[in-house]
Amino acid sequence: MSCQGIGLRQVHVLLLWEGVALGLCCCWTWAGVAGASAGPSDAGPMGWLLSGKGPFHDSLEFTESVARYQQGYTTRYKIYR
């Protein structure tokens, strides 16, 4: 093996890695742009993972309990003795 053959091989590997890195960067950027236009409800059934609100945020019981809490009703009852 000559030194030129080894140098060429290293250049090919370097170019391959640069191509892979550029491709991944473009894919992630494109996915970020596409994801930025969609709201959390448009993300599908697993969109709550990205929202930070939890899986039960849109459930009927949760929204009703939040509405009751905002009106002053809570599930804790005062016991008068």
CB distance 19 to 10 below 8 Å: no
For residue 12, give the amino acid letter: H
Q: What's the pTM?
A: 0.30
Are both 27 and 45 inside the same structural domain? no
Q: 11-52 pLDDT, tens per residue?
A: 777 777 787 777 777 766 666 655 555 554 566 767 767 777
The sign of the dihedral angle between the CA atoms of 38, 44, 49, 52 is positive
Q: Specify whether 2 is located in the same domain as 23.
A: yes
Looking at residue 44, the DSSP 8-state letter turns out to be -
Q: Are 49 and 81 contained in the same domain? A: yes
Containing domain of residue 67, as a range?
41-81
Same-domain status, 11 and 33: yes
Q: Which residues of 43-72 are buried (b: 16+ CB within 10 A; e: fewer)?
A: eeeebbeeeeeeeeeeeeeeeeeeeeeeee
Do 61 and 30 belong to one domain?
no
User: Based on the domain organization, do 7 and 30 belong to the same domain?
Assistant: yes
- What is the tally of structural domains in the chain? 2
